[in-house]
Amino acid sequence: MTAVGALERDAELMLRVREGDTASFGLLLERHRAPVIHFLYRMTQNQGVSEELAQEVFLRVYRARESYEPAAKFTTWLFRIASRLALNWIRDRKNERRHESLDAAAQPGQATRQFADRSPSAEQSLLRQSRLEEVRMAIEALPAKQRAAVLMHKYREMDYSHIAESLNCSESAVKSLLFRAYETLRQRLAHMV
């Protein structure tokens, strides 16, 4: 399915949900569950919180089904809700956020942190984990809005205008957020080059 086809399909499914078709909601959930959770996970760096917020996202989508207009791109709307919830959570929990330790034992129902395993030796594996921890901390250190912009730009491949709609700001503001964020990341991760 092409990108345009996927967009039209999302709108079509959401219109069916508006008419009361819950099966279409299931299809939308199937398609967008993982991207939303992954975005929220990278924003909050907490699996439990990310899934709770993701449920809230889909709950709000369902509740707002009757007022949905196909003029708005579905994923933009979805990530607007997601980023707003994430930014609110970060604001509210600024001083209480817990950091997961790489060595922490897995809690019941929680998955452990996973990294792409491309290193054959233990030493390379440790090096890789150390590198990824640097990346995680660098992202976490970004201001919340810069973080959201980078995550949408990098992992969702959203263009400036859609990121702007999701963050409820201008396109020029998004560019400014991204340029500053990437400049910070380049400086912070320069020693890893």
Task: Provide the binding-site residues for other proteins, judged by CB under 8 A.
Answer: 29, 33-34, 37-38, 41-42, 47, 51, 54-55, 58-59, 62-64, 66-67, 109-116, 128, 131-132, 134-136, 139, 150, 153-155, 157, 159, 175, 178-179, 182, 185-186, 189-190, 192-193
Residue with Cβ nearer other proteins (88 or 112):
112
Radius of gyration over every alpha carbon of the chain, rounded to an integer in angstroms: 18
Nearer to other proteins, 47 or 166 (CB): 47
Q: Are 102 and 133 in contact (CB under 8 A)?
A: yes
Q: How far is the CB of 151 from other proteins (least distance, A)?
A: 9
Using CA of residue 124, residue 127, residue 133, residue 136, what is the dihedral sign?
negative
Task: Tell me the C-alpha distance between 139 and 141, whole Å.
Answer: 5
103 three-state secondary structure: coil
Least spacing, CB of residue 107 vs other proteins, in Å: 11
Nearer to other proteins by Cβ, of 8 and 182: the residue is 182
Largest CA distance in the chain: 56
CB of 185 to other proteins, least distance (A): 5
The nearest distance, CB 118 to other proteins, in angstroms, is: 8
- HSE-up of residue 79 (Cα within 13 Å, Cβ side): 28
Tokens found for residue 157: 């491949």
Q: Considering beta carbons, is residue 9 or 60 the nearer one to other proteins?
A: 60
Q: Rounded distance, CA 190 to CA 171, Å?
A: 28
Report, in Å, the least distance between residue 110 CB and other proteins. 8
